[in-house]
Structure 1
Amino acid sequence: MQQALQSSLFDHSERRELGHGAWLEVRSGWLAQDGASDAVDGALFDELRDTVPWRAERRQMYDRVLDVPRLVSFVDFRNDAADPPPHPRLKQLRRRLNDAYAGELGEPFVTAGLCLYRDGEDSVAWHGDTIGRSSTEDTMVAIVGLGATRVFALRPRGGGPALRLRHGHGDLLVMGGSCQRTWEHCIPKTARPTGPRISIQFRPHNVR
């Protein structure tokens, strides 16, 4: 019930101030609002899953090296000529986001990180995108979800009530202002049967 209530706070695509200069905006069904049909949107998930050069990563965790519980890929739109994106729709999504947010941000989104969550066992731990300028500067990270609905959780750094939102197929979630420094976010594991999900995270220069 708590999760449904928190998601409903964003049913009208309103921006919510989180405090300390952070804000969060959720736009349900954003992907289809450019006129694309549900069939096209569904095909996009299948095409990205099958054509993106996904890779598995391993990371040092204390005294062990562990598999990262998701597959990842990365697109730098500034290298289009030498290394074009794996699907033309990614360029279209970037253009829409820049039309909507680049003026406020003061710069365009130039990269896209992609994550493939294969099932409920795949996840991402609590973190903020604080590699690069976002460790000291306000910024934006815009996330488009495809496929299965997963919980997107946020909590204030240093403690406080957490938000748990349902991030569904075609939904856009934008974290702005100081959000990467003052809040953390995650995709928690779930024991419920769930299908695969692709997350596309658009970021400006030198933000990871």
Structure 2
Amino acid sequence: MSVHLQSSLFDQEAEVGTGPLSGLRRTDLGHGAWIDVLPQWLRGADTLFETLVREVDWRAEQRVMYERVVAVPRLLAFFGRRAPLPHPALEAARTALGTHYAAELGEPFTTAGLCFYRDGRDGVAWHGDTIGRASTEDTMVAILSLGAPRHLALRPRRPGPAPVRRPLGHGDLIVMGGSCQRTWEHAIPKTARAVGPRISVQFRTDGVR
């Protein structure tokens, strides 16, 4: 698969690895929801991006919408509890996040879902990760962004708090916690602007999709 990524001037390292999580900054969204954000948590993120583009078995999916079968506007891959992740840095990231959030989360992150946004025509509509336990329980979803920045948009399901937009890419980390999946929705809006490709890696616990 051939894609062109304009590398970040701040991420020229070939060696891939995570930094400390002490720089996480939490924002209270209201309705029991919060997000933690840490820019450029992963060193060598552009190197990892190129590796995942080449080596992951990306799949295209279809869905029924308005009585028509349409292509899902992104490529996907999923790694369950027992599946080895496609790069040691992702294993290390998942372990580090599980350790950092152990007291709040009470269980480890066990799965990883990958989304490949090839350009601005790819995106994901408004939704919450409410398949499984997250429909009734607080949980966390940790997202590691690789490649060109795209905006992650969040909006409350009930009127009140203001919507939030965060540009994420080149190794940025965002963690959505508390009631975020039930009381807020998130999306990667499509855009007509010229944007580069992006991969998001979503770490979740058992029984949450």
In the other structure, the counterpart of 2:6 is none
Q: By how many angstroms is 1:88 displaced?
A: 2.1
Within a 5 Å distance, the mapping from 1:92-107 to structure 2 comes to 92-107=92-107
Does structure 1 retain, via aligned residues, the 8 Å contact 2:45–2:147? no
Does structure 2 retain, via aligned residues, the 8 Å contact 1:157–1:184? yes
Q: Tell me the number of residue pairs that the alignment of Structure 1 and Structure 2 aligns.
A: 186
Q: By how many angstroms is 1:75 displaced?
A: 0.7
In the other structure, the counterpart of 1:9 is none
Residue 61 of structure 2 is aligned to residue 57 of structure 1: yes
In the other structure, the counterpart of 1:35 is none
Structure 2, unmatched stretches of 5+, are 1-22
Q: Which consecutive aligned stretches of 4+ in structure 1 deviate over 4 angstroms post-superposition?
A: none
SS at match of 1:195: coil
SS at match of 1:50: helix
In the other structure, the counterpart of 1:46 is 50
Within a 5 Å distance, the mapping from 1:18-33 to structure 2 comes to 18-32=29-43
Does structure 1 retain, via aligned residues, the 8 Å contact 2:130–2:182? yes
Does structure 2 retain, via aligned residues, the 8 Å contact 1:31–1:170? yes
Q: By how many angstroms is 1:30 displaced?
A: 1.1
In the other structure, the counterpart of 2:199 is 198
Q: By how many angstroms is 1:103 displaced?
A: 2.5
TM-score by length of 1: 0.86
Q: By how many angstroms is 1:182 displaced?
A: 0.1
Q: By how many angstroms is 1:178 displaced?
A: 0.3
Give the alignment's Cα RMSD to 1 decimal.
Answer: 1.2
Structure 1, unmatched stretches of 5+, are 1-11, 33-39
TM-score by length of 2: 0.85
Q: By how many angstroms is 1:169 displaced?
A: 1.2
In the other structure, the counterpart of 2:3 is none
Q: What is the one-letter code of the residue matched to 1:53?
A: D
In the other structure, the counterpart of 1:17 is 28
